[in-house]
Amino acid sequence: LSLAFISEGPIIMLVSTATALVRDYSSYRKLLRFALLLNGVITLLLAMVMIPQVFSFLADEVVGLPRDVGRLAYESTVFFLPWPAAIGMRRFYQGILIRHNRTRYVTYGTITRLGSMTLTALVLAWWGNLPGACVGSLSLSVGVVCEAVASRVMAHGVLTQLKAGPADESSGSMTYGEIASFYLPPALT
């Protein structure tokens, strides 16, 4: 769970960035590409930590986990691989919903996440044979993936309006460097 939280740290502020910068369809497309790249890089970094030799070094040498705990930590962390991208996309679309006064949809997304997490945990606990740590990490990942999908579906109406609406003159000239400059200070928090 700590690795999942660390991996989401650099992408969690996509909500603020999307809220502030998605003004029209052009800015949406540009920020979507930025978010996808950022999510991909963070997911790749987490996948690199999941290389058995790297994870063993971190678990055994850096943290000093007992071998059986390290093995269980590795098994449960594998289920967190979709976590960073799901968190990033969820936050990106939540920012769009917030900017366009659809804040109640963020609540609906939270309900979706909690419901899917609970259902997954119950099904795995009753009919699965995974260790509890794996049930927990898989349930959390399923929850954020479901919420990310729900957030995208709920943002569809806003995106349709943006596509049909007029272009914002200032957003068309926004560069990726300017997006990164805007994004870096909140991401560092």
pLDDT at res. 112: 98
**171: pLDDT strictly greater than 60:** no
- Mean pLDDT over 41-62 rounds to 94
**What number is the average pLDDT over the span 173-186?**
88
Is 168 a residue whose pLDDT tops 80?
no
**Is residue 165 exposed (0-12), middle (13-18) or buried (19+ Cβ within 10 Å)?**
exposed
Percentage of the chain beyond pLDDT 90 is 81
Going by C-alpha positions, the residue among 119, 116, 48, 50 that lies closest to residue 86 is 116
Residues comprising the chain, all counted: 189
- CA diameter of the chain: 59
**How does pLDDT run across 117-167, given as a tens digit for each residue?**
999 999 999 998 999 999 999 999 999 999 999 999 999 999 999 999 887
Cβ–Cβ under 8 Å, residues 85 and 40: yes
pTM above 0.85, yes or no: yes
What's the pLDDT score for residue 172? 58
Confidence label for 28 from pLDDT (cuts 50, 70 and 90) = very high
**Mean pLDDT value of segment 162-179:** 80
